[in-house]
A and B are shown apart, each in its own frame.
Chain A
Amino acid sequence: MATIYIDNEPYTVEPNGRNLLEVCLSLGLDLPYFCWHPALKSVGACRQCAVILFRDENDTRGRLTMACMTAARDGMRLSLTDPRAVAFRASIIEWLMVNHPHDCPVCDEGGECHLQDMTVMTGHVRRDYRFDKRTHRNQNLGPLVNHEMNRCIACYRCVRYYRDYAGGRDLQALGWHDHVYFGRMEDGTLESPFSGNLVEVCPTGVFTDKTLGRHYTRKWDLQTAPSLCVHCGVGCNTMPGERYGLLRRVQNRFHHEINGYFLCDRGRYGYEFVNDAARPRVAADPDTVRGWLSEGRVAGAGSPRASLEANAALRALVGAENFYAGVAPAEHALVALMRALLEVHPTPPPSLREVEEADAVLLLGEDPTHTTPRLALALRQAALRPPMAAAGATLKIPPFDDAALREAVQDATAPFFIATPQATALDGVAMQALRLAPDDVARLGYAIAAGEGEIAAALRNAQRPLVVAGFGSGSPAVAQAAAAAARALGARLCFTLPACNSLGLALFDAPGVADMPRDVKTLILLETDLFRLLPDAEARLRKVKHVVVLDCLATPTVAAAHAVLPTATFAEADGTLVNYEGRAQRHFRVFPATGDVREAWQWLDALRGVTRTFDEVTAALAALPAFAGVEGAAPRAEFRLLGQPVPRQPHRTSGRTAVTANVDVHEPTTPPDPDSPLAFSMEGYQGHPPAPLTPRFWAPGWNSQQALNKFQQEVGGPLVGRPTGVHLLPVNTGAVPAGTPPPPFQPRADAVLFLPAHHIFGSEPLSARAPGIAALTPAPALAVGAALYARLGGGPVEVRVGDAVLTLPLREDPALPVGTAVLPVGLCAEALPAWGTLTGGPRDA
């Protein structure tokens, strides 16, 4: 603990290697800044956070210094309000604004712009510059990010985030002096799958959300609620925003343990499936469906993309013995295995923050950039941070001095080892990247567990080692090898999971949908596309008398159903999802569903003839031993602050007497919400609600996302109030199931081993329906090694795997292990990896 004096007021702070700007913001003081970002640290480039620093209590003159570049020390004396500091900061803004265009009314950042906030904060209210402004041409950066270079104030945050933090290579600072230009060498889609964060990192409107621009609404009009990303198993916290019944955008909602300040592009831009015109919206008669339930045997398939409550309602409707997991057989077995391995592991699965703090990583068989992208961004930090920490300790560089630390470490990385069949985006930060077939990856894992080889030696020296594997390889042997290696090394064990509630569904311990008996009269499919899961889906469905599908997507199964009950998407439903760590988190309705669309658990309760509130559904769920404590994920619906609910709409929401005036000139009543402590209204508690209920980040004078620092216990720290989410997964429960190394991989002359290839854009069924994501989805192609590519002549080939026959163009991946080929997932329902044949080109293979 240290005491620092700010404007002669003593404050007790924890210096902890933090700079004065972080200390001031953590104390709730307003100090303007631009180039500093809590995740990117300081470079001292913008000179905006100037304060006057005094030598001691007798020093009356002091000197101007940059708060972000000065470490906090005990007994420091500084002044934020000294007229010289105030005038300096105002003149910096004036200078930054010289070339800033008169764009605010047509700028998407307007109303949530850090530059606007800081300009007002410094008191620079009048523009005296009379001369010509510098202009720039924009670039087309693809379907996700819009570029308007005139607005740039050259804070360099974009390239520091994009290149240094996210590892992108194609965005650069080009040109010089006041011509400096942040863009690509030529027009084209930004290559990094984390490019969407530029929208939030940029303090002004240079990078804006292109999907939002197509249906633009200001921040003050967006109805938001705390929500979760549903596009992979990581469970990032999001803030979707709605206006006029249309989901407008998704923004990051800070979670200290998980997503921190950043999302991936799938999570940020995948939301548009909610607005899809092809969504099923007309419901069958529920009474007819209820009649079918008494006609004979009923079975139900739950879904890994439906909430715990929806699955529990289905289980209650059909009975536990008739409840099946709507997951492909191989994936079902793999997720069950991974769950079992996590439960016996001595330490719980690491949160993403703990992943970032790892100092040695072993990545087995998984390309997280394409399966759970946010994890890949965390793993990159794990590779880059330890050398920076070491350099900082040796050279006495404070931890926030980003440029100096990066200069000191150059290209050094932590011990980071990758063994996958295909090249991964993380190869660049790896000490060693091995290209091995899945069985050989598993053998490597067991060898490391046995302490053989230099990789094992490097990992053994680490303080916080981490082993990552997952569903991406499709191989149970790899998962078992990873668990064995993690246990032997004393490492944390992290498994990636395919869907937002994969682990939640696995906790129900239901058999897979492939094990469903054939004599079922009525089959209830909850958000399950059978055609994606089972090769014989059509034959199975034909045998069932009544197929009832509850889904929010227009899938082939919906087309084949006898009755469709349209369900709400994540944005129109409350629900609890369990992420890869076993953390149960709650997402809340952003806007009420319209027309026939209802939340899945409401449909299922209606079929059962009961009426329950959401909390009653959750309480019934919590009665199951695996879900004990799940109701603690968020406050109950009766929760009130000063007797008031938390408003979903900002207090500046506009047009409440005009929005529906064309339909009815009388204003509608606020839709009731018996299921949560939030209200579909601008009225309610205006202070800071507890973290699980925070619908937006806004504070007086802080209209941008950077208002977040007012909601954190300290800058970069957890949100104020109770933490969000509860852990459901037990740990260290018993002995490890014995695994044995598989025999070495042997290429076969008559067949090829087809390995699964996931892609961040397109492999996940929900986001694949968002136009922005669909535009970036690569055309399906089969990747083969160099020898096979030469033999097949590069032409289209016929792939036979199981019963499926596919014709695909070829792509060369020279490093691919001999005897394997990589097939995009989702093209057929066959489980991969699988042996199959390739025909085509000049000679058969």
Chain B
Amino acid sequence: MLSILHTIWNVFTHAFHRRVTVRYPEEKRPLPPRWRGRIVLTRDPDGAERCVACQLCSVVCPVGCIALQTTQDETGRRYPAFFRINFSRCIFCGFCEEACPTCAIQLTPDYEMAEYTRPALVYEKEDLLIDGTGKYHDYNYYRVAGLAIGGKDKGEAEHEQPPVDVRGLLP
């Protein structure tokens, strides 16, 4: 009897507590930028695709939900011919972002991607690629890589000497 009264009292006092329930979807909780939600492919500060299709994200993925094919343009710059993430399998672990050597693949604080059918959760490159740099604003992989691509010749990357003149005799 005493415990029933105690319970009724407790419930009554809750009427005066601060509300923690959010009236989603009208109202949304702010999420930290490191929230592991919908995956995007970003662009480098010059506006070009960051992904070099190195396939590290796909191999690190514990559920194997990333598939892509490497290709390259006529200047030698690599990019994915297709890039597919099966979000119906994704567990949002963020390993792909951690493995990405070019900061291309990033997880965003967007979790509103429920669908009525599973095929609608299969995202292709045009669904994934955004127009910005995401969380990492300054990184441009090709500025530190030794590979020459269109617009960046040998020796023009950061911390690089000009190409060696093999025929030169100077020490």
Name A residues whose Cβ lies closer than 8 Å to a Cβ of B. Answer: 101-106, 110-111, 130-138, 148, 150-151, 174-175, 177, 179, 181, 183, 213, 215-218, 220-221, 244, 652-659, 661-662, 665
Q: A179-B166, A665-B88 are in contact. Are A132 and B161 (CB under 8 A)?
A: yes
Which residue on B lies nearest to A146, using beta carbons?
Answer: B76
Contact A658/B147 with A105-B101, A133-B161, A181-B166 known, Cβ cut-off 8 Å: no
B51 to chain A, nearest CB (A): 10
Closest to B118 in A: A665
- Write out, one digit per residue, whether chain B residues 139-160 have a CB within 8 A of any chain A CB (1) or not (0): 0010011111000001100011
Report chain B residues within 8 Å CB of A659.
67, 84
User: Cβ of A654 and Cβ of B145 under 8 Å apart?
Assistant: no
Q: Which residues of B contact A133 (CB under 8 A)?
A: 146, 159-161
The answer to whether the Cβ of B55 comes within 8 Å of any Cβ in the partner chain is yes
Taking a contact as CB atoms under 8 Å apart, the answer to whether B146 and A103 are in contact is yes
> Which partner residue on chain B sits nearest A100 by CB separation?
B146
Residues on A with beta carbons closer than 8 Å to the beta carbon of B56: 105
* CB <8 Å contact, B55 and A101: no
Q: Say yes or no: B86 contacts A174, CB within 8 Å.
A: no
Whether the Cβ atoms of A218 and B59 lie closer than 8 Å is yes
- The smallest beta-carbon distance between A561 and chain B, in angstroms, is 35
Chain A residues near B89 (CB, 8 Å)?
657-658, 661
Residues of chain B lying within 8 A (CB to CB) of residue A136: 154, 163-164, 166
Contact B67–A137 (Cβ < 8 Å): no
- Cβ-closest chain A residue relative to B161: A132
Question: Would you list which residues of chain B between 75 and 102 have a CB under 8 Å from chain A?
Answer: 78, 84-86, 88-89, 101-102
30 pairs of residues in contact across A and B, judged by CB atoms under 8 Å: A101-B146, A102-B144, A105-B56, A105-B141, A105-B145, A106-B54, A110-B54, A132-B160, A133-B146, A133-B159, A133-B160, A135-B160, A135-B163, A136-B154, A136-B164, A137-B163, A174-B166, A217-B55, A217-B69, A220-B59, A221-B59, A653-B64, A655-B64, A656-B64, A657-B64, A658-B65, A661-B84, A661-B86, A661-B119, A665-B88
Closest A residue to B61 by beta carbon equals A654
Q: Which residues of B contact A213 (CB under 8 A)?
A: 72
A102 and B146 in contact, given A181-B166, A658-B89 (Cβ under 8 angstroms): yes
Chain B residues near A105: list those with CB within 8 A: 52, 54, 56, 101-102, 141, 145
Contact of A665 among B53, B54, B71, B122 (CB under 8 A): B122
Interface pair A106/B145, CB less than 8 Å apart: yes
Closest to B162 in A: A135
Q: Is the CB of B54 within 8 A of A662?
A: no
Q: Which residues of A contact B72 (CB under 8 A)?
A: 213
**A151 and B146 in contact (CB under 8 A), knowing A135-B160, A662-B84, A662-B122?**
yes
Q: What is the bound-complex CA distance between A659 and B160, given in angstroms?
A: 39
Give min CB distance, B52 to chain A, whole Å.
5
Residues on the B chain within 8 Å of A653, using CB: 64
Chain A proximity of B71: nearest CB distance (Å): 8
Q: Which residues of B contact A (CB under 8 A)?
A: 52-56, 58-59, 61, 63-72, 78, 84-86, 88-89, 101-102, 118-119, 121-122, 124, 141, 144-148, 154-155, 159-164, 166, 168, 171
Q: A136 vs B162: C-alpha distance in the bound complex, in angstroms?
A: 8
Contact of A658 with B64 in the complex, beta carbons under 8 Å: yes
Q: Is the CB of B84 within 8 A of A658?
A: yes
Among B72, B124, B163, B171, the most chain A Cβ lie within 10 Å of the Cβ of B163
Task: Please give 10 more A-B residue pairs, beta carbons under 8 A apart, in addition to A110-B54, A654-B64, A659-B84.
Answer: A101-B147, A181-B166, A183-B166, A244-B69, A654-B61, A654-B66, A655-B61, A655-B67, A657-B64, A665-B122
Contacts of A131 in B (CB 8 A): 159
- The answer to whether B144 touches A135, judged by C-beta atoms less than 8 angstroms apart, is no
**Residues from chain B with Cβ under 8 Å of A150 in the complex:** 146-147, 154
Given contacts A110-B54, A652-B59, A658-B84, contact A135 B64 (CB under 8 A): no
Give Cα distance in the complex from A659 to B162, angstroms.
Answer: 42
**Which residues from A are CB-within-8-Å of B101?**
104-105
- Which residues of A lie under 8 Å from residue B141 when comparing CB positions? 105
Q: Which residues of B contact A104 (CB under 8 A)?
A: 54, 101
Q: Which residues of B contact A181 (CB under 8 A)?
A: 164, 166
Q: Give A102 Cβ to nearest chain B Cβ, in Å.
A: 5
CA distance A658 to B63 in the complex (A): 9
Residues of A within 8 A of B164 (CB): 134-137, 175, 179, 181
Q: Closest residue of chain A to B104, judged by CB?
A: A105
| 3 smallest beta-carbon distances between A and B, as pairs | A101-B146, A655-B67, A105-B54
CB distance from A665 to the nearest CB of B (A): 4
CA distance A172 to B159 in the complex (A): 28
Q: A104-B101, A655-B67 are in contact. Are A177 and B171 (CB under 8 A)?
A: yes
Known: A244-B69, A662-B84, A665-B119. A657 touches B63 (CB 8 A): yes
Q: In the complex the two chains form, is A662's CB within 8 Å of B161's CB?
A: no
Closest chain-A Cβ to B167's Cβ sits at a distance in Å of 8
**Residue in A closest to B120 when the chains form the complex, CB atoms:** A665
A218 to B69 Cα, complex, angstroms: 10
Contact B166 A135 (CB under 8 A): no
Q: Is the CB of A658 within 8 A of B67?
A: yes
| Closest B residue to A175 using CB positions | B166
Given the interface pairs A101-B145, A148-B147, the reply to whether A661 lies near B122 with Cβ below 8 Å is yes
Q: Are B59 and A135 in contact (CB under 8 A)?
A: no
List the A side residues contacting B85 at CB < 8 Å: 658
B70 and A103 contact, CB distance less than 8 A: no
Q: Is the CB of B59 within 8 A of A134?
A: no
CA distance A134 to B155 in the complex (A): 8
Query: B169 — nearest CB in chain A belongs to which residue?
Result: A176
Q: A655 contacts B66, CB within 8 Å? A: yes
Residues of A within 8 A of B61 (CB): 654-655
Q: What residues of B have a CB within 8 angstroms of the CB of A217 in the complex?
A: 55, 69-70
B58 partner residues in chain A, CB cutoff 8 A: 221, 654-655, 658
Within the assembled complex, what's the spacing in Å between the Cα atoms of A661 and B123? 9
Determine which of B55, B88, B118, B166 lies in contact with A221 in the assembled complex, contact meaning CB atoms within 8 Å: B55
CB <8 Å contact, B146 and A661: no
Nearest to A220 among chain B residues (CB) is B59
Interface-central residue, A183, A216, A657, by most chain B CB under 10 Å: A657
Q: Which residue of B lies closest to A654 (CB)?
A: B58
Among A103, A148, A659, A661, the one with the most B-chain Cβ atoms within 10 Å of its Cβ is: A661
